[in-house]
């Protein structure tokens, strides 16, 4: 009986399954197949001996990392940058979507949406170059600071370790707030309009409708997005940090991904870098599972 149902379903949706094949092949080839190489984290890998021929060393590389001088700094920086992005960056697209939903002028709404989407399509290299130019001692940001506080207030922002996280998070919000709001706008559009009409009849103002109709209506979407975001709480994008940081601000800017790059690509210490990367991945996996479990218990909304 079950086999017959599966056959009928496959026959009825065969074109959909065919369309999904390239995506499945992509994930198998570029995401699952490389997992085999993760075993070098437990070996003293050399290209001459290969993955299978290299000797096992157990947890040696993990012990070296956690007892080394950089482990605490790397974990702290990675966590803090991701945490600040979660606290300030996660609500930003949601807030923008809710505010856009309240804009009645269609043309004005479209202009705001277009302007907020544009930064997403700008190359990260270009954005980082703009950030460096704007935050230089003679850049636009310092010109504004000097205008209000005098020439003595000028400083090279990205040369000061205490400024890196702020610059990173704020620029990330600017680049992604518009694009991130799309999924929330789509969720808002699915809310039954009769709920808004009933709220208006009951005398609810705009703020009350946002709090008691819009937010509850998109709460499942918010929870799913939060669970997915928790999966990268211990991950910070390598490219942006690499393009912005320098040796003078390693104390606050150096994260696990950049450290793995230096040890693995530059120093060719492949086994050690694989161990650090594997630790990072395991932590993120545990965070996703934990967030999903808690969400399922509290709100009955979860990924699985």
| Contact by Cβ (8 Å): 194, 178 | no
Predicted model pTM: 0.86
| Contact by Cβ (8 Å): 260, 75 | no
Q: pLDDT value at position 11?
A: 82
- Angle (CA) 119-124-125 rounded to 5° is 130
Neighbours of 96 (CB within 10 A): 20
Q: pLDDT value at position 120?
A: 93
For the chain, domain boundaries = 1-58, 62-298
Residue showing tokens 């400024």? 163
Q: pLDDT value at position 2?
A: 67
268 backbone φψ class: left, alpha, beta (φ>0; ψ -120 to 50): left
Averages of pLDDT over runs of 10 residues in the chain (304 residues) are 73 87 92 88 90 91 93 94 94 93 86 92 93 86 82 80 91 93 92 89 88 91 89 86 89 93 91 93 89 80 71
Q: pLDDT value at position 248?
A: 86
Q: pLDDT value at position 202?
A: 86
- State whether residue 301 is helix, strand or coil: coil
Biggest CA pair distance of the chain: 80
Q: pLDDT value at position 65?
A: 94
| Contact by Cβ (8 Å): 83, 170 | no
- Angle (CA) 186-190-192 rounded to 5° is 150
Superfamily of domain 62-298: MetI-like (1.10.3720.10)
């Amino acid at each position: 009986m079950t086999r017959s149902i599966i056959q009928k379903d496959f026959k009825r949706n065969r074109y959909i399954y065919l369309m999904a094949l390239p995506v499945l092949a992509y994930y198998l080839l570029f995401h699952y197949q490389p997992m085999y190489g993760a075993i070098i984290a437990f070996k003293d890998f050399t290209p001459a001996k290969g993955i299978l021929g290299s000797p096992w060393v157990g947890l040696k590389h993990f012990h070296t990392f956690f007892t080394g001088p950089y482990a605490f700094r790397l974990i702290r920086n990675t966590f803090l940058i991701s945490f600040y992005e979660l606290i300030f960056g996660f609500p930003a697209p949601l807030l923008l979507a809710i505010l856009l939903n309240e804009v009645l002028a269609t043309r004005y709404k479209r202009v705001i949406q277009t302007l907020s989407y544009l930064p997403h399509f700008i190359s990260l290299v270009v954005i980082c170059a703009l950030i460096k130019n704007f935050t230089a001692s003679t850049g636009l940001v310092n010109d504004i600071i000097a205008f209000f506080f005098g020439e003595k207030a000028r400083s090279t922002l990205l040369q000061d370790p205490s400024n890196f996280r702020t610059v990173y998070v704020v620029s990330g919000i600017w680049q992604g707030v518009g694009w991130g709001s799309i999924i929330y706008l789509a969720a808002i559009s699915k809310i039954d309009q009769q709920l808004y009409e009933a709220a208006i009849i009951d005398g609810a103002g705009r703020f009350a409708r946002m709090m008691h109709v819009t937010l509850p209506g998109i709460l499942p979407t918010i929870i799913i997005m939060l669970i997915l975001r928790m999966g990268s709480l211990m991950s910070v994008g390598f490219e942006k940090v690499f393009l912005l940081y320098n040796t003078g601000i390693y104390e606050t800017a150096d994260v696990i991904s950049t450290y793995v790059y230096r040890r693995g690509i530059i120093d060719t210490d492949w086994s050690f870098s694989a161990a650090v990367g594997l630790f990072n991945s395991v932590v993120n996996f545990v965070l996703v599972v934990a967030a999903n479990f808690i969400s399922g218990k509290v709100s009955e909304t979860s990924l699985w």
